C-alpha cells in the first residue's frame, strides 16, 4: 500500500512529490494570483514573509493569512516531542510548516493544490527534515504511522473530497488509523456558533452572514459546534480530547486558553475582542466583548468561542506536561524585546515560563534575569520579587495563585464601591512611597529616553530603582506579602515616583475599562480620557483626583510615556493623551452603537446623512 508518484522535484533541501492519481492540476482550493506572487516572492527572497510583514499593511487578507507571523502562535507553545514526526494535512502555503520543521524531526506536508505545494517547498527549501506531497488526503496511502497529524482549517472541506453520508467522520477515521497508538491529532476549525458570527460577521468560507448559524443551507462546507465536533471525534475513535480556544480566533491567535481556564472580567483576552473578520465592515449586532463576558460568567465561554483547537488522542494516557495558557509575543514590539509566556502544569504543579520569541530576544531573557536580581534588592523587606530560574533559553517562575491588586480593584468596583476602589489605588501609591526614595534630578532617565535637558530642572522624589512595570497588574496580593511579578523593565537608575503612579493609574484604566464603563453613574462619575490609544477610554473622577494631586503636570507624564512606548515598540507614536483642564464629567457611558431603528429606516437615515455630508462639503 504505497503511493505512486508521477513527478518528483528537488527544491533546495526539500523533495516535492506528486501522487499519481491526484487531480492536483485542478485545485479545488485557490486564493487566486496571490499564490503565484508568493512563489515568486520566496524564490527571489527567502525571507519574503518577514519583508512583507514589516510593511504597515498586508495588501489583502489572503496575503496576511499566508504570511503573517501571528499564524504560528497557534502551535508555538505546544509541547511537541522533538523526536516526533508530523503529517500536516492541507498545508496550504506553509504558514505553519516552518514552525513544525523547527520543532519536529520529520515533517510531511500534504497539499492538494500543486500551486500551493510549490510555495511550501520554495518557502521552506532550507529544511532537510521536510517533504512536500501533492495530493488529496483521501488518496494518500502511507504505511508509516505518525506521532502527530495536524488538520488546520481543512476538515470543513471534507465533503468536497469524501463521498458517502459521513464525509467528516470518514476523514477523521482515516486520521485515526494513521496515528501511532500514543499519537495526537491537532485540529483547528471555526465554531459554527462562534461569538463573532452571532455578532453578524460573515461566515469565513462562504462570506454569507449567519450561514453557519442557520446550518449551511447553501453550501457543502461545514464547521461545527463544540458538541458536534466532540461527537465526530468520538465516532472516529478518539477517546481523549483536550479543548483549547485560540483567541480571538485560530487565524489570528494572540492568546490560547485551555478549557480549564475560565476567563474573569479582568482577563487580558477581552482586549482581543471584537475579532476582526475579513470582509466585515458592517455594524456588529452586539458587542462581542460584553456578550463574551456574560457568556463566560454563565459557564459558556467555550461553547461560543470563535474557534477551537483540539488535541485528540487514541488512548487516555495522562499527560505529564500540559500548557493551560499561552500569551504570544506582541509583534508590535521591537524583535529584541519579544517574549512568549505560558502557564504549564507539570505533574500537577503550575509554573510560568517566559521564552525568547526569536534569536534576537535570547539576550533579553538574560537581561530580565539580571533585572529581577536588581528588583529583589530594591524591594527587600517591602515585597517579594518573583524571580525566574533558567531553563534552557527560558526562565521558569513559580505560579503565584493570589489575586493581583488590579483584580482586587476590579472586585471593589463590582461591589459598587463608591470611588471605584479609590482607597486601594491610594494604597498602591502609599506602597510606592515606602520603597527606597531619592530626591534628585533623574539624569539617566532623562538621557535614556532622550527627553529635553530642561524637562526636569528641580530635584523630584524618585524611586531609587526604575521599576517601570510595578503597576497594580503586576502586584499579587497575598495575606502576608505583596509579590512583584514581571521585571522586564527594571533599570538601575532613579525614576520619578509620580510618573510610576501615573503609569499605574493609566494601566488600571486601560485594563478595567469594562468595569469602569459599566459602573459609571451619578454617584460614580467618570471622565473621558480622549484619544489615549486607539479607543476612547474613561477614567473614574476619583482616580483623576489622585492624578491631579501629583506634583508633575500630566502632560509631562504623557510625553515620557510616549518615549517609553517608543523605546519598546516598532511603530513610533506621538503623545495622544490630552486631558483638558476641566474634563467633562459623565455619569453614563455608551458601550457600543447598536442600531436601534429597523432596517429600511436605518438605511434612509444613512442616505440622508451622507447627502447632508456631501452638501456641507460642497458649500464649505
- Contact footprint for ligand SAM (CB under 6 A): 29, 89-92, 95-96, 110-113, 116, 136-138, 152-154, 157, 161
| Cell digits of residue 375 | 528588583
Nearest to 75 by CA among 131, 148, 14: 148
Nearer to ligand SAM, 63 or 113 (CB): 113
CB atoms within 10 A of CB 614: 10
Query: Angle of helix 34-44 relative to helix 114-123, nearest 10 degrees?
Result: 20
Nearest to 361 by CA among 317, 393, 386: 393
Which DSSP state fits 377? H
According to DSSP, the residues that pair with 389 across neighbouring strands are: 396
Nearer to ligand SAM, 156 or 384 (CB): 156
Nearer to ligand SAM, 95 or 255 (CB): 95
| Cell digits of residue 540 | 473614574
How far apart (Å, rounded) are the C-alpha atoms in residues 371 and 365?
10
Nearer to ligand SAM, 50 or 570 (CB): 50
Q: Which residue shows C-alpha cell 482515516?
A: 174
SS3 string, 518-545, reads HHCCCCCCEEEECCCCCCCEEEEHHHHH
- Rounded to a whole number of angstroms, the minimum distance from the CB of residue 157 to ligand SAM is 4
Element housing 246 (H / E)? strand 240-247
- Rounded to a whole number of angstroms, the minimum distance from the CB of residue 113 to ligand SAM is 4
- Rounded to a whole number of angstroms, the minimum distance from the CB of residue 388 to ligand SAM is 33
How far apart (Å, rounded) are the C-alpha atoms in residues 226 and 239?
16
- Rounded to a whole number of angstroms, the minimum distance from the CB of residue 182 to ligand SAM is 24
Nearer to ligand SAM, 108 or 474 (CB): 108
- Rounded to a whole number of angstroms, the minimum distance from the CB of residue 36 to ligand SAM is 15
Nearer to ligand SAM, 136 or 442 (CB): 136
- Longest Cα pair distance anywhere in the chain, in angstroms? 83
How far apart (Å, rounded) are the C-alpha atoms in residues 610 and 588?
29
Q: Which residue shows C-alpha cell 512595570?
A: 469
Residue 345 has φ and ψ, to the nearest 5°, of: -120, 115
Nearer to ligand SAM, 31 or 486 (CB): 31
According to DSSP, the residues that pair with 396 across neighbouring strands are: 353, 389
Nearest to 278 by CA among 202, 199, 224, 221: 202
How far apart (Å, rounded) are the C-alpha atoms in residues 532 and 578?
8
How far apart (Å, rounded) are the C-alpha atoms in residues 228 and 221?
15
- Rounded to a whole number of angstroms, the minimum distance from the CB of residue 52 to ligand SAM is 15
Q: Which residue shows C-alpha cell 452571532?
A: 198
- Rounded to a whole number of angstroms, the minimum distance from the CB of residue 166 to ligand SAM is 15
Nearer to ligand SAM, 138 or 565 (CB): 138
- Rounded to a whole number of angstroms, the minimum distance from the CB of residue 153 to ligand SAM is 4
Nearer to ligand SAM, 48 or 364 (CB): 48
- Rounded to a whole number of angstroms, the minimum distance from the CB of residue 170 to ligand SAM is 11
According to DSSP, the residues that pair with 254 across neighbouring strands are: none
What's the angle, vertex CA 565, arms to CA 561 and CA 571, rounded to 5? Answer: 135
Nearer to ligand SAM, 90 or 504 (CB): 90
According to DSSP, the residues that pair with 384 across neighbouring strands are: 483
Nearer to ligand SAM, 19 or 463 (CB): 19
Counted residue by residue, the chain has a size of 620
- Rounded to a whole number of angstroms, the minimum distance from the CB of residue 155 to ligand SAM is 8
Query: Angle of helix 405-414 relative to helix 422-434, nearest 10 degrees?
Result: 160
CA dihedral 487, 490, 496, 499 (to 10 degrees): -40
Nearer to ligand SAM, 96 or 275 (CB): 96
- Rounded to a whole number of angstroms, the minimum distance from the CB of residue 161 to ligand SAM is 4
How far apart (Å, rounded) are the C-alpha atoms in residues 435 and 21?
73
- Rounded to a whole number of angstroms, the minimum distance from the CB of residue 284 to ligand SAM is 24
- Rounded to a whole number of angstroms, the minimum distance from the CB of residue 174 to ligand SAM is 10
How far apart (Å, rounded) are the C-alpha atoms in residues 138 and 153?
16
Nearer to ligand SAM, 137 or 364 (CB): 137
Amino acid at each position: 500500500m504505497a503511493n505512486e508518484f508521477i513527478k518528483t522535484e528537488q527544491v533546495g533541501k526539500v523533495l516535492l512529490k506528486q501522487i499519481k492519481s491526484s487531480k492536483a492540476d485542478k485545485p479545488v482550493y485557490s486564493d487566486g494570483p496571490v499564490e503565484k506572487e508568493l512563489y515568486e516572492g520566496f524564490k527571489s527572497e527567502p525571507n519574503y514573509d518577514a519583508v512583507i510583514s514589516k510593511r504597515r499593511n498586508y495588501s489583502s487578507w489572503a496575503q496576511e493569512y499566508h504570511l503573517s507571523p501571528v499564524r504560528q502562535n497557534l502551535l508555538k507553545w505546544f509541547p511537541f516531542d522533538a523526536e516526533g514526526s508530523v503529517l500536516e494535512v492541507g498545508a496550504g502555503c506553509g504558514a505553519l510548516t516552518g514552525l513544525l520543521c523547527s520543532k519536529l524531526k520529520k515533517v510531511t506536508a500534504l497539499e492538494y493544490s500543486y500551486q500551493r505545494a510549490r510555495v511550501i517547498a520554495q518557502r521552506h527549501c532550507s529544511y532537510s527534515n521536510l517533504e512536500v506531497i501533492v495530493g488529496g488526503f483521501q488518496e494518500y496511502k502511507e504505511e508509516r504511522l505518525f506521532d502527530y497529524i495536524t488538520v488546520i482549517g481543512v476538515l470543513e472541506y471534507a465533503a468536497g473530497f469524501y463521498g458517502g453520508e459521513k464525509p467528516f467522520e470518514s476523514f477523521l477515521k482515516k486520521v485515526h488509523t494513521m496515528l501511532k497508538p500514543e499519537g495526537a491529532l491537532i485540529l483547528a476549525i471555526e465554531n459554527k456558533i462562534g461569538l463573532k458570527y452571532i455578532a453578524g460577521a460573515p461566515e469565513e468560507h462562504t462570506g454569507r452572514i449567519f450561514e453557519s448559524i442557520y446550518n449551511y443551507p447553501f453550501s457543502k462546507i461545514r464547521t461545527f459546534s463544540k458538541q458536534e465536533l466532540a461527537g465526530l471525534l468520538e465516532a472516529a475513535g478518539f477517546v481523549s480530547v483536550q479543548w483549547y480556544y485560540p483567541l480571538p480566533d485560530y487565524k489570528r491567535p494572540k492568546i490560547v486558553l485551555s478549557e480549564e481556564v475560565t476567563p474573569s472580567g479582568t482577563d487580558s483576552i477581552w482586549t482581543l475582542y471584537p475579532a476582526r473578520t475579513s470582509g466585515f465592515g458592517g455594524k456588529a449586532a452586539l458587542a462581542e466583548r460584553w456578550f463574551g463576558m456574560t457568556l463566560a460568567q454563565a459557564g459558556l465561554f467555550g461553547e461560543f468561542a470563535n474557534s477551537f483547537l483540539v488535541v485528540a488522542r487514541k488512548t487516555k494516557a495522562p499527560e505529564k506536561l500540559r500548557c493551560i495558557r499561552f500569551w504570544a509575543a506582541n509583534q508590535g514590539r521591537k524583535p529584541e524585546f519579544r517574549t512568549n509566556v505560558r502557564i504549564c502544569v507539570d505533574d500537577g504543579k503550575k509554573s510560568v515560563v517566559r521564552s525568547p520569541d526569536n534569536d534576537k530576544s535570547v539576550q533579553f531573557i538574560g537581561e530580565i534575569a539580571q533585572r529581577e536580581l536588581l528588583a529583589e534588592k530594591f524591594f527587600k523587606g517591602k515585597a517579594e520579587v518573583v524571580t525566574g530560574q533558567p531553563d534552557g533559553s527560558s526562565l521558569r517562575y513559580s505560579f503565584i495563585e493570589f489575586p493581583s491588586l488590579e483584580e482586587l480593584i476590579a472586585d471593589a468596583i463590582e461591589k459598587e464601591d463608591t470611588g471605584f476602589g479609590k482607597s486601594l489605588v491610594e494604597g498602591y501609591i502609599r506602597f510606592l512611597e515606602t520603597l527606597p526614595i531619592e530626591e534628585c534630578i533623574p539624569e539617566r532617565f532623562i538621557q535614556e529616553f532622550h527627553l529635553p535637558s530642561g524637562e526636569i530642572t528641580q530635584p523630584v522624589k524618585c524611586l531609587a530603582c526604575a521599576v517601570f512595570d510595578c503597576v497594580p497588574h503586576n502586584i499579587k496580593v497575598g495575606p502576608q506579602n505583596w509579590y512583584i511579578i514581571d521585571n522586564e523593565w527594571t533599570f538601575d537608575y532613579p525614576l520619578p515616583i509620580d510618573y510610576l503612579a501615573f503609569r499605574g493609574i493609566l494601566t488600571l484604566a486601560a485594563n478595567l475599562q469594562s468595569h469602569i464603563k459599566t459602573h459609571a453613574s451619578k454617584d460614580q462619575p467618570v471622565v473621558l480620557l480622549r484619544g489615549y490609544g486607539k479607543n476612547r477610554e474613561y477614567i473614574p473622577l476619583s482616580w483623576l483626583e489622585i492624578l491631579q494631586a501629583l506634583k508633575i503636570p500630566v502632560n509631562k507624564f504623557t510625553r515620557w510615556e510616549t518615549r517609553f512606548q517608543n523605546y519598546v515598540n516598532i511603530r513610533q507614536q506621538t503623545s495622544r493623551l490630552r486631558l483638558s483642564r476641566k474634563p467633562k464629567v459623565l455619569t453614563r457611558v455608551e458601550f457600543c452603537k447598536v442600531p436601534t431603528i429597523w432596517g429600511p429606516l436605518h438605511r434612509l437615515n444613512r442616505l440622508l446623512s451622507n447627502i447632508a455630508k456631501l452638501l456641507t462639503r460642497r458649500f464649505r
